[in-house]
Amino acid sequence: MRNEIIRPFVERILKRLQYPQTPIVIDLVLQAIKAENDLREVYNRIVAENDHDTVNREIGRCVRELTDFTSTEKTQRTNVSFAKTFTLLIPKQKAEIDEGILAVYGDEFTQKQARKVLPILVRQAEAAQIIYYGVLAKEIGIPNHRNLNTILVAIGNALSALEKQWQEPVPPLQFLVVNKDTELPGEGVSPFSPDPVVFRKANQEKRRRIQDKILEKVYDYPKYSELLSFFGLERNRIEWREKKELCGDHYKYGSGGEGPQHQALKNHIAQNPGSVGLTTKKPGIIEYGFPSQDAIDVMFCNGKNWTGVEVKPYTSDDADLERGLFQCIKYRALAEAVCKAKGCRRDIEVILAVGRAFPQSLMPLKNILGVKVVDNIRTPETQSRK
């Protein structure tokens, strides 16, 4: 299906609905249309899902006209939904970019979640730290990370409109949110890349190069305070306890020994790498020592992959878990220094392993530091206690 054939109809429907005919909106609609195999089926689904008669009539008219040109054409199907895209672009109520209102063209749920997500993305940008879809979903409290797709597109639309209003570049913060396996953003960000067509057609290696260039601009952007102020949002502030508050009785095993629960969990993880998500069968090294005289609880050395584990038992309070996050940063830096001194290259990761549920209050700190946490790990002893 050729864009030059489709574009006039897209512009016509947007005009009928008095919707801004910006390039980013048109590209979104074009992408959605191209993703569908059968436009008549799409129209029927839209009618079934959308209770706005005017919108139904206009979308239906547009789809019927398009079908005249594409009745025999089949295109490769993707996860992008034409119906969902129009639901996003033409909501029950349109929000305006004005006086600090976050302009997201979505339903009430999308708008509410977008206002949560945008300050988190600013926080991650200023820390030069990407964030996984699942991790972000958990932080804002939504069970299905796939719901982030419409939220991120809504934020992208808002930032694009802001860019037009300010008449200066505003980086696409949604590129910070990536797939855990590929560390690349999803298909929904394509329209917000410098060249959407090139990004969609690119292989993973080329997409990564494009993403790296975009993230440089995201990390270097100097006006995040003004951006948040424009939308009437506050920073997602991270607070932690002062040093003396971190030195309570719960650290009494910190220098001269350790508690039995800590020892049991440490031994369990060392003998069961799968408990922290590792595939290696080789047991970990307990109390792996560094030249600085520091020692990490467990270290798994599997060829070029080194995975350290800082262990916190179920008896640890929130202050101890907070300390553990910073310990992970320290041990990773030490492991990298050892490799550099030895002239070897290793892929290094340090995990915080917790014998209880990791608290929601520490999620922002965990995410800004980029520490992987595996929680609710059970030893045979704690399983028998349940």
At a CB cut-off of 8 Å and minimum separation 6, what does 216 contact?
Answer: none
Q: Say if residue 161 is in the same domain as residue 81.
A: no
- 1-25 burial, b if ≥16 CB within 10 A, otherwise e? eeeeebeebbeebbeebeeeeeebb
**Residue 273 belongs to a domain:** yes
- End-to-end alpha carbon distance in the chain: 59
Q: Residue 311 forms beta bridges with which residues?
A: 353
Q: Say if residue 211 is in the same domain as residue 250.
A: no
Q: Say if residue 175 is in the same domain as residue 295.
A: no
Q: How many domains does the chain have?
A: 3
**Residue 156 belongs to a domain:** yes
**Residue 225 belongs to a domain:** yes
Q: Say if residue 373 is in the same domain as residue 254.
A: yes
**Residue 202 belongs to a domain:** yes
Q: Say if residue 226 is in the same domain as residue 305.
A: no
Q: Say if residue 372 is in the same domain as residue 248.
A: yes
Share of the chain above pLDDT 70, in %: 66
**Residue 96 belongs to a domain:** no
Q: Which carries the bigger pLDDT value, residue 233 or residue 64? A: 233
- pLDDT for the residue numbered 231: 82
**Residue 215 belongs to a domain:** yes
Q: Which of 9-18, 52-61, 231-240, 260-269 has the lowest mean pLDDT?
A: 52-61
**Residue 102 belongs to a domain:** no
- pLDDT category, 25, cuts 50, 70, 90? low
Share of the chain above pLDDT 90, in %: 40
Mean pLDDT of the region 158-186:
90
Q: Say if residue 15 is in the same domain as residue 82.
A: yes
- pLDDT for the residue numbered 335: 92
Dump pLDDT digits (tens) for 100-119: 344 444 567 777 888 899 99
Q: Say if residue 213 is in the same domain as residue 137.
A: yes
Dump pLDDT digits (tens) for 257-309: 478 999 999 999 999 999 999 999 899 999 999 999 999 999 999 888 999 99
Q: Which carries the bigger pLDDT value, residue 341 or residue 99? A: 341
Task: Please give, one letter per residue, the 3-state secondary structure of 201-254.
Answer: HCCHHHHHHHHHHHHHHHHHCCCHHHHHHHCCCCCCCCCCCCHHHHCCHHHCCC
Q: Say if residue 271 is in the same domain as residue 330.
A: yes
Query: Is-contact 241 322, C-beta < 8 A?
Result: yes
Q: Say if residue 173 is in the same domain as residue 80.
A: no
**Residues spanned by the domain of 48:** 3-89
What CA–CA distance (Å, rounded) separates 349 from 58? 53
**CATH number of residue 304's parent domain:** 3.40.1350.10
**Residue 298 belongs to a domain:** yes
Mean pLDDT of the region 155-172:
88
Dump pLDDT digits (tens) for 322-365: 999 999 999 999 999 988 887 777 889 999 999 999 999 999 99
- pLDDT category, 166, cuts 50, 70, 90? confident
